[in-house]
Amino acid sequence: MRSGLVQVIREEFWLALRTRRLIVLLVMYVVLALLISGATMFSLREAERIAMQEIAARGIPPDMARDLLTSTMERGIDEVARLLSKEPEDFHPLFRTSLPLAAFFFLATTVIPFGTLVASFDLFASDLRARSFCFATLRYRRRDIVLGRVIAHTATLAVANSIAAAIIVVMSGALLTNFQLGSALQGAAWCSFLLLFMCAAFVAISAFASVNTRRPGVALAMGFGIFLAMAFVRIPGSLVGLMGPEWQWMAHVPRLVPWGWYGGLWSSHPGETALSLAVYGAYAAGFVLLALNRFSKEDL
């Protein structure tokens, strides 16, 4: 990695942290994640309290008490699995050991696509309109500018995810009786790692929309249109059950967009997870190349 790219990443990262709109969005995202996970924790705590009352009333031995508390957690995980139309045994073990982290991951994967668009739609448009890139290109290559901005914004979102996951681990330790610190820390790290690939893909899509116009509003509309088009591609897959056998091929149509690989992020099968991450990585690389191609032809 050349020094020019490193310098762009450093400058853009600190610039992003000083951007009021982005900071407000990230704070709102972290607070929302904590509220959802906190509600999950308090529900679990209440379930644990009821279970402990039952334990005390029946004089259940400590080993059986732990099994009862674990089964309470597993019932919550089963509900999340049904919500995602997956079998509970297909869930990654790290999600099965922490329902609050599973709730956070569900929220994050739901919010990140459009949240990333709102946070990154102006990645290039305003500077193109102001022609400020003519000075930046005197110091850095155009490739470094595009890659640096995408990487810096992805890193900013990754930091927000890691902060939220870490706080959830601390809250879980403080509020829950049946808490395993080692598993929770591994789960937080795993969530952050998975979300990094998703963030990279959607930041790259936002960058592509932003580099194609000099108007931030148009960039936002263009990015929103791309995301909606990708979301609608999922519809045929949900209609397969209502159609005849000759339409079963439509079940594979959602695989054309990132959302079609969402289920693999939850999977306990390493191959399925690796394939989903590879697809998100390919989307990130593809849209970065498209943005770079457009930016290289731009009259700055």
Q: Is 214 exposed, middle or buried (0-12, 13-18, 19+ CB in 10 A)?
A: middle
Residue 19, helix vs strand vs coil: coil
Question: pLDDT tens digits for 65-94?
Answer: 556 556 656 666 666 666 655 565 667 777
Domain extent listing, the chain: 3-296
- What is the pTM (predicted TM-score) of this model? 0.84
Over the chain, what is the mean pLDDT?
A: 80
pLDDT at 241: 55
pLDDT at 62 over 60: no
Question: pLDDT tens digits for 157-175?
Answer: 998 888 888 888 888 877 7
pLDDT at 34: 80
Residue 140, helix vs strand vs coil: coil
Lowest-pLDDT choice from 32-36, 83-87, 189-193: 83-87
pLDDT at 287: 94
DSSP secondary structure string for all residues of 210-233: HHT-S-HHHHHHHHHHHHHHHHHT
Number of residues assigned to the chain: 300
Question: pLDDT tens digits for 42-55?
Answer: 776 776 666 666 66
Question: pLDDT tens digits for 274-300?
Answer: 999 999 999 999 999 999 999 988 776
**Chain centroid to CA 84: how far?**
16
